[in-house]
Amino acid sequence: MKRIAIAAMLSIALMAMMSPLEAAETKESGIARKAVTLFSEGKYKEMTGYFDSTMTKAAPPERLRAIWTSLAGQTGKFERIVGDSSFAYGNYRIVLVTCKFQKTLLDVKIVLDKSFKIAGLFFVPARQNQFEKSGNEAAKNNKSGEVSRKTGYISRDVTFPNRKGGVELAGTLTLPDSTRKLPAVLLVAGSGRNDRNETVAGHAVFKAIADYLASRGIAVLRYDKRGVGKSTGNYADATTEDFASDALAGVEYLAGLREIDHRKIGIIGHSEGGEVAPMVANESRSVAFVVLMAGPGVQGYRIILSQIAAIDRESGMSDSSVNANVALENRILKTVMSVKDSSRAARELKVLLTGKAGETEVEADASIRELLSPWYRTFLSYDPRPALRKLRCPVLAIWGSKDLQVPPKENLPAVREALKSGSSGNYRVVEIPGLNHLFQEAKTGSPFEYGTIAEDISPKALDLIGDWIVKQTAK
């Protein structure tokens, strides 16, 4: 995971560990918005008046000017503040101020201490904030039980329990307007606090997939992750195994519906969901097929290192800088993986982050919490290949050639080899030219480009998935 600190080392992580809460006009919201406004107006000296003592030393006006100039060179001209959301994080309060730039959406992450002084400043690609305020945008646009005249399907809000996990998942079930028993898919989102639409940079990826598949006669269930939107549970303490348990509950829910053909239930997993899908398929006899969208083929620590290298190179960094960043991140990840005692690991990471990485103590503390979280420790060490080899159902695995988050160069061959040596016997592996991690038509594949692209997902990806599922369920 690449930390994005005040030095404006802009990259993207595969996960987001904090819990967004819709921010009204609170004191922290006002301070954060004011700071961002001063930043955008070039009033750097006035902005430092909101800093604590550490930030005042770390980010004098001349450094703020250099950061903003560098940022604008990558994102284009600042246009406006779109919205904000707040986070409780230990003894700190954090506000994400989502900003519209000429080329993309970007979150300015403001860390506030108990005195409402700014103790940290980060930049991250806008992911879910104002776009998933209720975790239920589908319900706003399509009331429960309402038939869409344009597309001929019914969408309704549903809930289903994961009794093993002690949570209740809330989602949207899309049913083609038909009297016959329907094939169905469960959509499993990637890492991070994803809502049922897997909203990323304003793009409702899963809603687009659900609408398309419904037009092809396929029912779709998508849901808010535990602790997100209307789903219960604690997201921060969950691991990939917990998310697999939730997905299994979704499959069982579909299998119990009278509208569904119980022999034709599949899973579409995107990114980390591509790890979850095989785990569930190997446990449930109800899973008839699996689609992996940008699914990992190697351990998480290797994905993080290749992700950092790919995004850094795309941003124009020199080979020496890229290699230095990767080497440092490798040391950090090895510490997380090898030092099991969290107190000792935290001490060693603090030295690396405040020394080699140049983070402030507040930034380092935030990074350490994420690095030592249950999810992250599990993600780094998990190898998806054994689960892929065990699959007995048909599998479609696809990547975009410009995916910089789960690069196909490393992951596609690993998935192909695991499936080839495994039990499925019916699999297809495809790299789609020109598409990014969200399967949009892209120029660079950079995460900062997501918000500048009009489409939620390319028709090339939709048609490939739809045609394959129709073929598998026609039997």
CATH value at residue 280: 3.40.50.1820
- Do 304 and 445 lie in one domain? The reply is no
- Do 237 and 261 lie in one domain? The reply is yes
User: Are 145 and 70 within 8 A, CB to CB?
Assistant: no
User: Are 30 and 288 within 8 A, CB to CB?
Assistant: no
41: CATH: 3.10.450.590
More confident residue, 199 or 284: 284
Structural domain contains residue 3: no
Q: Summarize pLDDT for 425-437 with one digit per residue, the tens.
A: 999 999 999 999 9
Structural domain contains residue 29: yes
Among residues 344, 359, 380, the one where a domain terminates is: 380
Structure tokens at 120: 């940290």
- Do 323 and 455 lie in one domain? The reply is no
Q: Summarize pLDDT for 135-193 with one digit per residue, the tens.
A: 333 333 333 334 343 457 889 999 999 999 999 999 999 999 888 999 999 999 999 88
Structural domain contains residue 127: yes
- Do 183 and 260 lie in one domain? The reply is yes
- Could you give the CA distance from residue 380 to residue 36 in angstroms, rounded to a whole number? 34
Q: What is the pTM of this model?
A: 0.76
Using left for φ > 0, alpha for ψ between -120 and 50, and beta otherwise, residue 334 falls in alpha
Among residues 132, 165, 189, the one where a domain terminates is: 132
DSSP symbols for 440-469: -B-SS--GGGGGG-S-SS-HHHHHHHHHHH
- Do 318 and 428 lie in one domain? The reply is no
Closest by CA to 418, choosing from 303, 275, 300, 289, is 275
In this structure, of 9-13, 37-41, 436-440, the range with the lowest mean pLDDT score is 9-13
- Could you give the CA distance from residue 264 to residue 285 in angstroms, rounded to a whole number? 11
User: Are 185 and 219 within 8 A, CB to CB?
Assistant: yes
**Residue type at 238?**
A
